[in-house]
Amino acid sequence: MQTYTAPLRDMRFVMHELFDSARLAKLPGLEEVNTELLDTILEEAAKFQEAVLLPLNASGDAEGCQFENGVVRTPKGFKDAYKAFVAAGWGSLNSDPAYGGQGMAMCISKLIEEIVCSCNLSFGLYTGLSHGAYLALKSYGSKSLKDLYLPKLVDGTWTGTMCLTEPHCGTDLGLLRTKAVPVAGGTYQLTGAKIFISAGEHDLTENIVHLVLARLPDAPSGIKGISLFVVPKFIPNPDGSVGARNGVTCERIEHKMGIKASATCQIAFDNATAWLAGEPHKGMRAMFVMMNSERLSVGIQGLGVGEVAYQSAVAYARERVQGRSLSGTKYPEKLADPLIVHPDVRRMLMTMRSYNEGCRALGVWVANQLDVMERLQDTPERQDAEDFVSLMTPIVKALFTDLGYESSNLALQVFGGHGYIVDHGMEQLVRDARITMIYEGTNGIQALDLVGRKLPANMGRSLRQFFHPVGEFIEKNAQDPNIGALLQPFAKAFGALQLATGFIAQKSLSDPEEAGAAATDYLRLFGLVALGFMWIRMAKIATIKLNDKVNVAGPNAAFYDAKYKTATFFIERILPQAGSLLYSIKAGKASMMALRDSAL
């Protein structure tokens, strides 16, 4: 059975102590945000998701979505859960108050996303994609489109999708064939087929709003000829009510390895009425607003699955007795000691714990910069925040999902044979986590984006937003006796990242394949150093708190002690991978590309 309680204490630590949530109140629209409000929202969200969504996770996986005559039925309980979710306002938390949203800070929104994904990843896809559609329309839709669609997407009356992939093209969207022909009244007739459309058809809402990439008749070839269209399942009446059925049908749903309670659809558009969103042939610019939002959210999905996997494994390791401790019996009253006493089990549990807490901290850092980027206009701070978010988006998506999958696999290993069977729910977590490494751009594509676009952009300007604060922290704390033992190996890993960055920048000038060969290792190296930066900062806070014997005692002292010890584990046992990654990067492409295609 899956075990999960929202890690509220750690979430509060990251929000308030690591990143000082009081700073949020200095941003436009967040003036009333304070510690008490953030904590209350988090606590209520945890109560709701744990009570409503978590019990449906295993049953939803077992039942899956049902498809018959173009109609998709979600698993038992999902429809009522969705109604309760939107009625409670969880889907509108971060949306603009002008369209019925609550205008809340991104950090609290992302932490609640994590809770949702820990409780029920499949359910989270229905609500998460709607927010991505909202962002794209808010950024590039006309006033009439925004006024009609955004309030419905915000309050959850309608849901949204993202329709990119076609049977013959995935990542290479320049090959897409879906066509849109202009007709009278400023609308278009759109015809084509899309696959792998999450939440493309379901019974949760009265309407589904598809954002579709297609070509106009005069479109140039390739990716520069793509436009974005709004294609509703039902054409709205002027008053916002649902009108006639549009030329949009679900042809089938996919039978998948995981996320079985999420309907992954093949959608056919047959002269469907569509509206252009944004400028002609500029659809990718608009769609990337949604895609980048979704890539960050998919990273949070990886963290969410990693957290429920970790908690489930800890609970099992405490209960399951097996063998005696290598250092002598620890629980003489039992027939054997519990699994948790064994070093290799501890290795797995500590690995998961250090991944999750490090990713949570990094995720909130990015979320805070998203708020700066969205709420400050035409300022140096906004540009810095945009550079940072741009740099970190592929890292968050790829690293968090890689580690979430690793954690779910480790959790299954802790359960042993019991993890391999359905009863305990670990194999579901492994299956669910695996897709996060693929959709919204495979992790290999994220790595190529990092080295091919983000690093060289604006002469490497975005790198300063990470490299400068890390370098300043190392210099400032070089003589700190409390974290000195951790700072030195962290500084060495940071040095490896700097060397790898220079190596790739130099090699890629003469041979782009060198950057491609290094990309995945480089993203992992960058990600581990980023987590290390979070851990060294958290370790510093923990030591300060532990030295305050008067005000820190009991559970708080235990929390900070665990935080410091987990930081030590990460830096001593995980971060040394930076050295081997650097060696792999510097080995270059030669051995990777040596075999002819026919010899592979």
Render pLDDT for 420-464 as a digit per residue (tens, 0 to 9). Answer: 999 999 999 999 999 999 998 999 999 999 999 999 988 889 999
What average pLDDT score do residues 302-312 get? 98
* Helix residue spans in 53-87 (DSSP H): 55-63, 78-87
The string of DSSP codes covering 250-269 is EEEE---SS-TTS-EEEEEE
d(CA 361, CA 10): 9
Q: How many helices (H) and strands (E) does the chain have?
A: 19, 11
The string of DSSP codes covering 104-145 is --HHHHHHHHHHHHHH-HHHHHHHHHHHHHHHHHHHHS-HHH
Q: Is the pLDDT of residue 472 over 80?
A: yes
Give per-residue pLDDT as tens, 51-83: 999 999 999 999 999 999 999 999 999 999 999
Could you tell me which of 541, 312, 514, 479 has the C-alpha nearest to residue 407?
Answer: 312
Please give the mean pLDDT across all residues of the chain. 95
Q: Flag the least confident range among 274-283, 396-405, 546-555.
A: 546-555
Give me the pLDDT at residue 459, please: 84
Are 397 and 443 in contact by the 8 Å Cβ rule? The answer is yes
**Prediction pTM value:** 0.96
CB atoms under 10 Å from CB of 288, counted, come to 13
- The residues, any chain, with a CB within 8 Å of residue 34's CB and separated by 6 or more, are 21, 22, 25
d(CA 450, CA 518): 11
Conformational region of residue 65, where left means phi above 0, alpha means psi within -120 to 50, and beta covers everything else? beta
Q: Has 17 been annotated as catalytic?
A: no
Query: Which amino acid does the sequence have at 324?
Result: R
Are 541 and 535 in contact by the 8 Å Cβ rule? The answer is no
**Tell me, what DSSP letter sits at residue 92?**
G
Give per-residue pLDDT as tens, 327-356: 999 999 999 999 999 999 999 999 999 999
Give per-residue pLDDT as tens, 368-426: 999 999 999 889 999 999 999 999 999 999 999 999 999 999 999 999 999 999 999 99
Q: Could you say which of 440, 475, 514, 572 is catalytic? A: 440
